[in-house]
Structure 1
Amino acid sequence: MARGVRRTASDPPYDRVVTDAEPTDRTAELPEPMARVLGDYERHLRSERDVAPLTVKAYLGDVTGLLDHAHRLGLTEVAGLDLRTLRSWLARQQSMGRSRTTLSRRATSARVFTAWLARTGRVAADPGSALGSPKPHQTLPDVLRADEARALIEAAIEQAADGGPIGLRDVAMLELLYATGMRVGELVGIDVDDVDRDRNVVRVFGKGRKERTVPFGHPAAAALDRWRSTGRPLLAVEGSGAALFLGARGKRVDQRTVRTVVHRLLAAVPGAPDLGPHGLRHTAATHLLEGGADLRSVQELLGHASLATTQRYTHVTTDRLRRAYQQAHPRA
C-alpha cells in the first residue's frame, strides 16, 4: 500500500479532531478573486504540505471565516488584508463567546494563511506576522493511574478470551498505545513491516510526516505477535495491503474505531476517567516521568517538537505528589 495512507496524523496547530472550525458553506458568497485564492490555498495544503483531510477542513473553515469578515468590511481581494482586518476578525470571534483556545488556534490559522500569501506574492507584506493571540488556558490532562491502566488492558484481554480477531486486535492496539504514547493517527498508519520484533521498536510517522522509532515492552510485543499470527490473517482481504491494524471489513482501521474501543473498554474500569487514545498518550508520558525518565527522552518518545510541550506533564506529576503529601503528612 502506498505510503500516502499515512496522512492521518494532524498538522499544527491541530493536534486533535477540530469540531469548532468556521463553517465553509460561505465560500460561494465570497468575491471570485477571494474564492480563487482559497482554492489555490486548499491545493497547497493538500498537495504541497500533505496536510491531513480533517486538518485541511479546519484550516479552510477558519480562513473562509476570515475572508468572509474581510468581504463584509468591503474588501474584494486578499491583497487588501491588513493587521487591522485580522484583529477585528478575532475581536468579533471574542464577542461571539469563542474560547481562548479557539481564538488562539484561529489566530494561528490566519498567520499561516497570510504567510503563504506573502510567500506566493499575493500580498506585498505579511500582515499576520504582527498578529498576537491570547494564550489558551493550560489545563492538566486527565490521566489513568497505573492500576487503572492495568485494568484497561485486562478488560481488553478478557474480551479477547473468545479468540476472535477483533479482541486480539484491540489488545494489541491498547498495549501499543500505552507502551509508546503514540498518537492515534500514528497508530493507524503503521504497516506490518514497520514493526521490528528483533529490537522491539516500531517506526511511526508523526506531525509533518516526521519519522521516529519508538520502543515498546514485552507485553505489547506478545500482544502484537498474537494479533499478527492469529488475528490479522482472519480479517485480511485483498485490499488490506500492508496495514498492521485492520477493521472488521479487512481495510486499514480508522481513528474513529480506535477511539470507540478505548472509550468502551474504559467504561469497564470502575472510577476511571473517560479518556480517548490521546488520554493514553498523556498517561504514558506521566507514568514515564513518575518512573524516573528524563524529559528529553520522553520528548523524543512522544515526538514533541518543543520540550515545553513535554514539560506540561511535570505539572501532572507534581500535582499528584502534592495531593499525596497533603493526604499523608501530619503537618501538611
Structure 2
Amino acid sequence: MMTNMNVSLKLFLEYLQIEKNYSQYTIEHYQHDIREFQLFMSEQAIQSFADVQYMDVRIYLTKLFNKKLARKSVARKISSMRTFYKFLLREKLVDLNPFSQVAIPKSEKRLPDFFYEEELAHVFEACDISTPLGQRNKALLELLYATGIRVSECCQIRLPDLDMYLSTVLVHGKGQKERYVPFGSFAQDALEQYIQQGRKELLTNNGHDFLFVNFRGGPLTTRGVRTILNSIIDKSSLDGKIHPHMLRHTFATHLLNNGADMRTVQELLGHAYLSSTQVYTHVTNDYLRKMYMTHHPRA
C-alpha cells in the first residue's frame, strides 16, 4: 500500500512540474505537506489515500491546531491536500475528495512592514562604499528598493540580465515567469560602481556571471542577503531587525503613496492576482491617516 501511495505522490509532483510549471520551491512545499499527512495516516492505520474519510481529516486538523500552528500554515496544508486529492480524482485513483468540505481558516490580517522614506535614508547611509563589500551592499540595497523584486529573484540575476542602457533588469520570477523591471539612477550608479570595482575584487578566481557574490566570490544566497541586511541595520541609527521582504513592501507602499496605479504596481511586483497587491492599499491608507492627523489643524 505504501508503494502505491508513493507512486501517486510521484505522479502528482510530475504533474506540478510539467503541467503546472510550478517552481521547485513550491513543489517541495507540496511534497512536505503530503508526506506529513502520510505520517498521520500511518498513525491512524489508514492504508491508502482512497480510505481517508471526512472525519479523518477533522482529526488531522485537530492535531495541526494542537501544535499551535499559525492559521496561515494550516490553510496552506489544507490547500495542498485539497489540490492533491483533486489530482487523484482526475486520475481516478480515489472516489472522493475528503478535503473538499473543509473550510480554509482565514489568515490574520497583518499589514506588511515597511520603511518610511526618512528611515530608509539612514539605511542607505550605513553602507561604506570605500570597500568592495560595502559597494556590493549598497548596490544590493539600491536594487531591492528600486525594483521591489523578491530576494530569491535577486540572487538569480546574472550580468546579461542587466541592461544598463535602458536601466532594466530581466527578472526570473515564480513559476519560471519572466518580467522586465526598470530601476532608477541611484540604483544604476551603485550597480556600475559595484560591477566595475567591488565585484571584480570579490570574484577572485570564480568564473561565474551571477551579479551578486559573497566574500568568497561565490554566488550570494538568500540567507546571505538576510545577513547583509541585518548587518546594515546594525550599523545604522535604526532599531530592530529587517527582513528582506520589507524592501519589497517599502517599494510598493512608496509607489502607491506617490500616485502609482494598482495595476502598474501589480506588474512590477510580478503578482499573478490584483488581490495580492491590494494589501498595500491598507498600508497607504494608514499612512494617509497619519499625515492627516499630523498636519490638519482640526485633526
User: TM-score scaled by structure 1?
Assistant: 0.81
Q: Secondary structure at the match of 1:160?
A: coil
Change (3 A) 1:80 1:240: farther
| Residues 168, 183 of structure 2: 8 Å contact kept | yes
- 2:70 pairs, out of 85, 99, 116, with 99
**Pair 1:51-2:23 in alignment:** yes
**Pair 1:181-2:153 in alignment:** no
1:137 maps to 108
1:205 maps to 172
How far apart are the structure 1 equivalents of 2:80 and 2:185? Answer: 42
Change (3 A) 1:237 1:111: farther
- After TM superposition, list the pairs within 5 Å mapping 1:129-168 onto structure 2: 129-156=100-127, 159-161=128-130, 164-168=131-135
| Residues 50, 94 of structure 2: 8 Å contact kept | yes
Q: Aligned-pair distance for 1:286?
A: 0.5
Unaligned residue ranges in structure 2 (runs of 5+)? none
Q: Secondary structure at the match of 1:212?
A: strand
Count of aligned pairs between the two proteins = 298
| Residues 125, 236 of structure 2: 8 Å contact kept | no
Letter in structure 1 aligned against 2:266: Q
| Residues 240, 252 of structure 1: 8 Å contact kept | no
**Pair 1:279-2:250 in alignment:** no
Change (3 A) 1:130 1:327: same
How far apart are the structure 2 equivalents of 1:221 and 1:271? Answer: 26
Letter in structure 2 aligned against 1:160: I
Q: Aligned-pair distance for 1:110?
A: 1.3
Q: Aligned-pair distance for 1:235?
A: 2.6
How far apart are the structure 2 equivalents of 1:87 and 1:206? Answer: 36
- 2:201 pairs, out of 234, 243, 252, with 234
2:159 maps to 192
Q: Secondary structure at the match of 2:129?
A: helix
- 1:302 pairs, out of 269, 272, 277, with 269
- 1:269 pairs, out of 230, 236, 240, with 236
How far apart are the structure 2 equivalents of 1:276 and 1:240? Answer: 30
| Residues 23, 174 of structure 2: 8 Å contact kept | no
| Residues 22, 174 of structure 2: 8 Å contact kept | no
1:114 maps to 85
Q: Secondary structure at the match of 2:169?
A: strand
| Residues 34, 76 of structure 1: 8 Å contact kept | no
How far apart are the structure 2 equivalents of 1:249 and 1:40? Answer: 40
Q: Aligned-pair distance for 1:271?
A: 3.6
2:94 maps to 123
How far apart are the structure 2 equivalents of 1:112 and 1:251? Answer: 38
1:16 maps to none
Q: Aligned-pair distance for 1:57?
A: 4.3
How far apart are the structure 2 equivalents of 1:168 and 1:46? Answer: 38
Q: Aligned-pair distance for 1:209?
A: 1.2
- 1:214 pairs, out of 171, 174, 181, with 181
How far apart are the structure 1 equivalents of 2:2 and 2:205? Answer: 47
Q: Aligned-pair distance for 1:88?
A: 2.9
Q: Aligned-pair distance for 1:174?
A: 0.6
1:273-309: CA deviation from partner (whole Å, max 9, x where unpaired) = 5221101000111011111111111110001111111
Q: Aligned-pair distance for 1:315?
A: 0.6
Q: Aligned-pair distance for 1:316?
A: 0.7
Task: Choose 119-128 or 228-237, whichever is displaced more.
Answer: 119-128
How far apart are the structure 2 equivalents of 1:94 and 1:260? Answer: 32
Unaligned residue ranges in structure 1 (runs of 5+)? 1-29
| Residues 57, 99 of structure 2: 8 Å contact kept | yes
Q: Aligned-pair distance for 1:326?
A: 2.7
| Residues 23, 176 of structure 2: 8 Å contact kept | no
Letter in structure 1 aligned against 2:84: F
Letter in structure 2 aligned against 1:51: S
Change (3 A) 1:39 1:316: same
| Residues 169, 181 of structure 2: 8 Å contact kept | yes
Q: Aligned-pair distance for 1:145?
A: 0.8
How far apart are the structure 1 equivalents of 2:177 and 2:103? Answer: 28
